């Protein structure tokens, strides 16, 4: 267990605790009709965040035992994350289910991050843009990515 990522996991858990009740009470109109600049609804953004937690969870695990460099499907680049959102049809999924999946997949990811082997932090994977991404960098960047999507949700929620 490493303490290096306590600021990441503490911030992640704090945002989850703050935002779960806000998300839970959003109206159907707000979550299904209003869209961000990528043409995603709040339902779809939350679904993407679930996918991101899942994919990062798998990468973190694989990077601690698999061959290096890790060749792992890059769902986030080249339009694949949009495919994931559409294939899973988050737009039609029960909002209460989405909120709980969002909450618990990210709580679990925080747990996984807290238990990363510090000797594996420089292991890396190669993304679709042919960039080497270390386990350390991926973990640190997850919080930035999470906050980005929370700010998108906030912007959509507060827009009239």
Q: Which CATH number is 89's domain given?
A: 1.20.120.450
Is-contact 59 70, C-beta < 8 A? yes
Query: Would you say residue 111 lies in a domain?
Result: yes
Query: Would you say residue 31 lies in a domain?
Result: yes
Query: Would you say residue 19 lies in a domain?
Result: yes
Question: Count of domains in the chain?
Answer: 1
Query: Would you say residue 1 lies in a domain?
Result: no
Query: Would you say residue 142 lies in a domain?
Result: yes
Q: 1 falls in which pLDDT band (50, 70, 90)?
A: low
Query: Would you say residue 59 lies in a domain?
Result: yes
pLDDT of residue 49 exceeding 70: yes
Report the percentage of the chain scoring pLDDT > 90: 79
Q: Is 144 exposed, middle or buried (0-12, 13-18, 19+ CB in 10 A)?
A: exposed
Query: Would you say residue 41 lies in a domain?
Result: yes
Residue whose token pair is 């973990």: 139
Global pTM? 0.94
Q: 92 is in which domain, residue-wise?
A: 6-158
């Amino acid at each position: 267990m490493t303490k290096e990522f306590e600021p990441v996991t503490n911030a992640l858990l704090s945002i989850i605790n703050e935002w779960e009740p806000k998300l839970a009470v959003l109206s159907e109109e707000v979550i299904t009709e209003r869209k961000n600049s990528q043409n995603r609804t709040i339902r779809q953004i939350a679904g993407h965040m679930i996918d991101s937690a899942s994919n990062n969870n798998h990468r973190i695990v694989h990077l601690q035992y698999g061959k290096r460099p890790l060749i792992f499907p890059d769902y986030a680049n080249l339009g694949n994350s949009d495919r994931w959102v559409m294939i899973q049809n988050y737009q039609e999924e029960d909002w209460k289910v989405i909120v709980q999946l969002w909450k618990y997949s990210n709580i679990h990811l925080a747990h996984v991050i807290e238990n990363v082997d510090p000797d594996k932090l420089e292991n890396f994977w190669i993304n679709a843009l042919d960039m080497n991404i270390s386990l350390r960098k991926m973990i640190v960047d997850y919080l930035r990515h999470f906050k980005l999507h929370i700010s998108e949700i906030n912007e959509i929620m507060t827009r009239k």
